[in-house]
Amino acid sequence: MSKETPKIIGNISKLSPRWALIVVPFILSFLMSGIISFVNMLRTLGWFDGFMTLWGYNWMISWAIAFPIVVTLLPFVRKFAGLFVDMRLPK
């Protein structure tokens, strides 16, 4: 009896666990760059007509910078965090 592959939606299969090394930083950098750019623009410029368009443009630039930085620094951050946190999986 074969085990059916888990699906995302419809017939689209979930990615294998090894993809988590890219998908997690991808989503995290997306959310963080969006929130930070929104707050900084709102704080600096205030709300105005066209704010969302300008924010969206700036967000994509921020994300294009944030994603490769997160992917690059994540192994170093994990190692540094390991100095303070027991990173072994609980039994």
Write out the two tokens for 79. Answer: 């190692």
Determine contact, residues 29/73, Cβ cutoff 8 Å: no
- pLDDT at position 55, please? 97
Q: What pLDDT score does 57 carry?
A: 97
Distance separating the N- and C-terminal Cα atoms of the chain: 30
pLDDT at 59: 97
Q: What is the pLDDT along the chain (91 residues), one digit of tens a residue?
A: 557 889 988 899 999 999 999 999 999 999 999 999 999 999 999 999 999 999 999 999 999 999 999 999 999 999 999 999 998 888 7
CA distance 52 to 33: 15
Enter the pTM of the model: 0.80
CA separation for the pair 64, 54 (Å, rounded) = 16
